[in-house]
Amino acid sequence: MEELSFMIQGDSEGYVTFECPFCHSEFKLQAGEFQDDDNPVYDLWCPYCGLTADKNNFLSQEVKAKAEEMAYNYMVEEINKAFGKMARSINRSKGIIKMTYKPLKKMHGKDIVEKDTVETPFECSCCNRHTKILYGIGKACAYCAYCGVTI
């Protein structure tokens, strides 16, 4: 299966929402820093509880729903192609069986558009990347999402 990819549009400063798989708190990361090819990100730390996991575990519900939609649509397309081909070849042959095939419909979810939020980003003194923390937690108990140090 080919890789499915889609763009998530960040807010006006390029921040995208992530959700911690452990405490389900949301935070935002800068899309350009998160998707930096020179400095690839594999694991993320939750800025609230400090636990770490593979970055794919931090996708927000919205992004996960979008990914499921894309996977579903890909499958629908493949099924439609396969059945369409089958129907055409059956119908071309001179047999008595005719096949009609009604293509499956694709899902059309809404695009993900980030809303601007008022929180200021924290800059990590270790990696200089930014984490936007949404729930106004004191700076003393927040962690850098990239390297897990206290910011």
Q: Which residues bind Zn ion (CB under 5 A)?
A: 20, 22-23, 46, 48-49, 124, 126-127, 144, 146-147
Cβ 13 to Zn ion shortest distance, Å: 18
Tell me whether residue 49 or residue 87 sits nearer to Zn ion (CB atom): 49
Give 21 or 109: the residue with its C-beta nearer to Zn ion: 21
Terminal CA-CA length for the chain: 40
26 vs 69 by CB, closer to Zn ion? 26
Q: Which residues contact 13 (CB under 8 A, 6 or more apart)?
A: 30, 116, 121
Residues paired with 130 in a beta bridge? 123
Output the DSSP codes for 47-102. TTT--EEEGGGGB-HHHHHHHHHHHHHHHHHHHHHHHHHHHHHHHHSSSS------
**Which residue is listed with tokens 């690839």?**
40
Q: How far is the CB of 19 from Zn ion (least distance, A)?
A: 9
Nearer to Zn ion, 29 or 124 (CB): 124
Nearer to Zn ion, 9 or 125 (CB): 125
Shortest Cβ 145–Zn ion spacing (Å): 8
We find the least distance from the C-beta atom of residue 65 to Zn ion, in angstroms, to be 20
**CB 142, min distance to Zn ion, A:** 11
Measured CA to CA in angstroms, residue 140 lies from 32, 69, 117, 150 at distances of 26, 39, 21, 7
